[in-house]
């Protein structure tokens, strides 16, 4: 039996007020008034699709060993690198490299479900597959997409043992129906007319695919307990369900009021949301539309109730900070040419040779633990730092990314350049041993104090825009 073994999600802490977006743009785009309700998730300046996928994957692997993963599929339409394997970065951050097959999936809003199908099929031989999906899409100022989109990620572990949602069947259709597109030289989506997309796209493509999937699974529409179908047109999922014989009560909330549409990740985000409260025997249908359609049907098992607690969608949604500063949103997304000052003018060239040799330390936050005295330290070195030991070549790799740290000292620096001043940084220590100077993120003045508990999170440290946009990643400390 192949299916989903574990699930996880990630939603950035910031929630951009849609009213704030409308208030800033109503002089020009008064028609946005109808969308100025609720809020959407907003990635911090140091977050992108890779960092969000890492966080969702860590949430997913709460109860599993990362080293057991043998395939990673990373779905996104906003991969940070065009010619560098993004899934490979995620694998290194999770400390999974040996015997790993990593693959990037993109080019469509159904990339998340296509990656999930690939991961499920690859797991039939007993080799666990991790499927992660994330999107951080750019939008034009004063556009409907600016209010409708959101940033987020989901991750699913596929396998054949302790399955929490078994795969009943799936069906896919691929065709070049262009409802929107983004060219290679454009940062923004270009969308076609909604009524035409609904009448010629959704109505004519989706119901036949759903009926074919139901037939393959030997089910009827009424057998579906949870119906998941992302769409920027809220009425469409209910319409597609009705045309396919699925009860209206089965249609899942699109999470649009508080999260927004997370692009290629949204079908999986909604699936994680459904798994959080599904019961054994529930049948879950996932439909993703984008140059065709993917339809997957799962059935929740008894093992779902036994899965250890993780944050999931609900946990990350509860970790919320309202953001009413629309200018900050523009600045974080490089839509505002701010004068950064001379302190921002320094070379950010990355020594790729050092990055390769120290990748476990930089991307995996791997320190060392002395075999002689048990002392933990970061970074790992040839000589143990314990003054009573000083053993040579005695340290084994020790993963510190999942450890809780505490603040030993800190600084709020308003002089150095930071996209979100002041720059918080300081000395953090781990109970097991080890300390280092770390940047803080997702931190407010009242949260940063000596003794405060911090969790490590994988983030963008800076971006070398002089050399084609090489992003440097490292681990930062955030309030636990």
DSSP one-letter string for 367-410 = EEEETTT--EESS--SB---TTT--BS-EEEEE-TTS-EEEEEE
Residue 341 has pLDDT above 90, yes or no: no
The packing angle between helices 86-93 and 49-60, to 10°, is 40
Whether 266 contacts 136, CB under 8 Å: no
Q: Are residues 317 and 466 in the same domain?
A: no
1 exposed, middle or buried (CB, 10 Å; 0-12, 13-18, 19+)? exposed
Q: Are residues 81 and 109 in the same domain?
A: yes
Residue 468 has pLDDT above 90, yes or no: no
Q: Are residues 291 and 361 in the same domain?
A: no
Per-residue pLDDT at 114? 98
Residue 374 lies in a domain: no
By C-alpha distance, which of 345, 363, 346 is closest to 354?
Answer: 363
Q: Are residues 346 and 310 in the same domain?
A: no
Least confident of 60-64, 134-138, 183-187, 348-352: 348-352
Least confident of 88-97, 344-353, 457-466: 344-353
pTM over 0.85: yes
For 232-264, what is each residue's pLDDT tens digit? 999 999 999 999 999 999 999 999 999 999 999
Q: Are residues 315 and 355 in the same domain?
A: no
Per-residue pLDDT at 356? 95
- 435-439 and 423-429: which strand pairing? antiparallel
Alpha carbon distance 96, 155 (integer Å):
15
Q: Are residues 319 and 355 in the same domain?
A: no
Reduced to 3 states, what is the DSSP secondary structure of residue 342? helix
Q: Are residues 66 and 87 in the same domain?
A: yes
Per-residue pLDDT at 346? 81
Q: In what order do the strands lie in the sheet with 128-135?
A: 101-105, 69-75, 128-135, 152-159, 3-10, 165-174, 292-300, 283-289, 226-228
Boundary (domain end) residue, out of 273, 308, 332: 332
Per-residue pLDDT at 218? 97
Boundary (domain end) residue, out of 288, 309, 332: 332
Q: What tokens were used for 470?
A: 């090489």
Reduced to 3 states, what is the DSSP secondary structure of residue 412? strand
Three state DSSP letters for 320-337: CEEECCHHHHHHHCCCCC
- CB under 8 Å to 31, separation ≥6 — which residues? none
For 359-386, what is each residue's pLDDT tens digit? 999 999 999 999 999 999 999 999 999 9
Reduced to 3 states, what is the DSSP secondary structure of residue 126? coil
Q: Are residues 287 and 354 in the same domain?
A: no
By C-alpha distance, which of 431, 435, 378, 365 is closest to 404?
Answer: 431
Per-residue pLDDT at 407? 98
* DSSP H or E segment with residue 88: helix 86-93
Residue 290 lies in a domain: yes
For 166-224, what is each residue's pLDDT tens digit? 999 999 999 999 999 999 999 999 999 999 999 999 999 999 999 999 999 999 999 99
By C-alpha distance, which of 439, 438, 467 is closest to 348?
Answer: 467
By C-alpha distance, which of 4, 7, 102, 123 is closest to 63?
Answer: 7
Q: What percent of the chain has pLDDT over 90?
A: 93
Whether 209 contacts 171, CB under 8 Å: yes
Q: What tokens were used for 465?
A: 């825009």
For residues 306, 307, 313, 314, the Cα torsion angle rounded to the nearest 10 degrees is 40
**Mean pLDDT, range 390-408, rounded to an integer:** 96
Residue 381 lies in a domain: no
Alpha carbon distance 326, 44 (integer Å):
13
Per-residue pLDDT at 344? 84
By C-alpha distance, which of 415, 435, 410 is closest to 425?
Answer: 410
Reduced to 3 states, what is the DSSP secondary structure of residue 408? strand
Alpha carbon distance 32, 48 (integer Å):
27
**CATH assignment at residue 47:** 3.40.47.10
How many residues are present in the chain? 480
Q: What tokens were used for 174?
A: 């691929």
DSSP assignment of 63-74 equals GS-GGGEEEEEE
Alpha carbon distance 256, 271 (integer Å):
15
- Paired with 164 in beta bridges are none
Residue 225 lies in a domain: yes
- Report CA-CA distances (Å) from 188 to 138, 181, 192, 467: 6, 9, 13, 22
**CATH assignment at residue 441:** 2.40.50
Q: Are residues 347 and 228 in the same domain?
A: no
Residue 318 lies in a domain: yes
Distance of alpha carbon 263 from the chain centroid: 11
Q: Are residues 83 and 167 in the same domain?
A: yes
For 260-312, what is each residue's pLDDT tens digit? 999 999 999 999 999 999 999 999 999 999 999 999 999 999 999 999 999 99
Residue 98 has pLDDT above 90, yes or no: no
Q: What is the CA radius of gyration of the chain?
A: 23
Label residue 466 by pLDDT band (50, 70, 90): confident
By C-alpha distance, which of 3, 21, 9 is closest to 324?
Answer: 21
Cα atoms in the 13 Å half-sphere on the side-chain side of 400: 31
> What sign has the CA pseudo-torsion 389, 393, 394, 398?
positive
**Mean pLDDT, range 116-143, rounded to an integer:** 96
- Domain of residue 222 covers 3-332
Per-residue pLDDT at 19? 98
Q: Are residues 324 and 357 in the same domain?
A: no
- Average pLDDT score over the chain: 96
Domain count within the chain: 2
Q: Are residues 147 and 232 in the same domain?
A: yes
Residue 196 lies in a domain: yes
By C-alpha distance, which of 443, 427, 446, 426 is closest to 435?
Answer: 427
Residue 116 lies in a domain: yes
Per-residue pLDDT at 347? 84
Residue 337 lies in a domain: no
């Amino acid at each position: 039996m192949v299916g989903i073994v574990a699930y996880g999600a990630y939603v950035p802490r910031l929630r951009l007020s849609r009213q704030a977006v409308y208030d800033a743009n109503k002089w020009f785009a008064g028609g946005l008034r109808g969308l100025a309700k609720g809020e959407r998730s907003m990635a911090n300046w140091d977050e992108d699709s890779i960092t969000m996928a890492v966080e969702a994957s860590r949430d997913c692997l709460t109860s599993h060993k990362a080293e057991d993963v043998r395939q990673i599929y990373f779905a996104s339409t906003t991969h940070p690198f065009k010619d560098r394997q993004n899934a490979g970065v995620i694998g290194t951050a999770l400390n999974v490299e040996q015997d790993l097959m990593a693959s990037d999936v993109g080019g469509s809003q159904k990339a998340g479900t296509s990656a999930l199908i690939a991961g499920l099929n690859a797991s039939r031989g007993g080799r666990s597959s991790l499927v992660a999906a994330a999107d951080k899409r750019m939008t034009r100022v004063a556009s409907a997409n600016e209010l409708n989109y959101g940033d987020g990620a989901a991750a699913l572990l596929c396998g054949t043992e302790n399955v929490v949602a078994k795969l009943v069947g799936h069906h896919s259709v691929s065709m070049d129906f262009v409802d929107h597109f983004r060219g290679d030289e454009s940062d923004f989506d270009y969308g076609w007319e909604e009524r035409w997309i609904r009448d010629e796209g959704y109505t004519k493509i989706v119901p036949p695919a759903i009926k074919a999937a139901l037939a393959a699974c030997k089910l009827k529409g009424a057998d579906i307990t949870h119906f998941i179908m992302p769409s920027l047109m809220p009425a469409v999922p209910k319409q597609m369900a009705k045309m396919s014989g699925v009860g209206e009560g089965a249609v899942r909330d699109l999470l649009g009021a508080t999260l927004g549409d997370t692009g290629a990740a949204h079908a999986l985000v909604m699936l994680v949301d459904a798994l959080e409260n599904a019961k054994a025997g529930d049948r879950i249908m996932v439909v993703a539309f984008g140059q065709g359609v993917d339809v997957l049907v799962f059935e929740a098992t008894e093992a779902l109730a036994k899965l250890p607690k993780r944050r999931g969608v609900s946990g990350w949604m509860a970790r919320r900070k309202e953001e009413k500063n629309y200018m900050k949103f523009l600045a974080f997304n490089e839509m505002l040419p701010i004068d950064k000052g001379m302190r921002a003018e320094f070379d950010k060239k990355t020594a790729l040779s050092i990055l390769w040799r120290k990748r476990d330390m930089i991307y995996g936050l791997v320190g060392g633990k002395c075999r002689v005295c048990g002392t933990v330290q970061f970074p790992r070195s040839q000589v143990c730092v314990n003054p009573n030991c000083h053993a040579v070549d005695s340290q084994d790799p020790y993963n510190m990314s999942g450890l809780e740290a505490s603040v030993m000292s800190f600084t709020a620096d308003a002089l150095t350049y930071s996209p979100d001043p002041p720059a918080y940084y300081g000395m953090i220590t781990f109970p097991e041993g080890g300390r280092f100077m770390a940047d803080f993120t997702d931190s407010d003045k009242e949260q940063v104090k000596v003794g405060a508990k911090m969790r490590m999170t994988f983030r963008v440290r800076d971006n070398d825009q002089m050399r084609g946009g090489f992003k440097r990643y490292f681990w930062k400390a955030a309030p636990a």
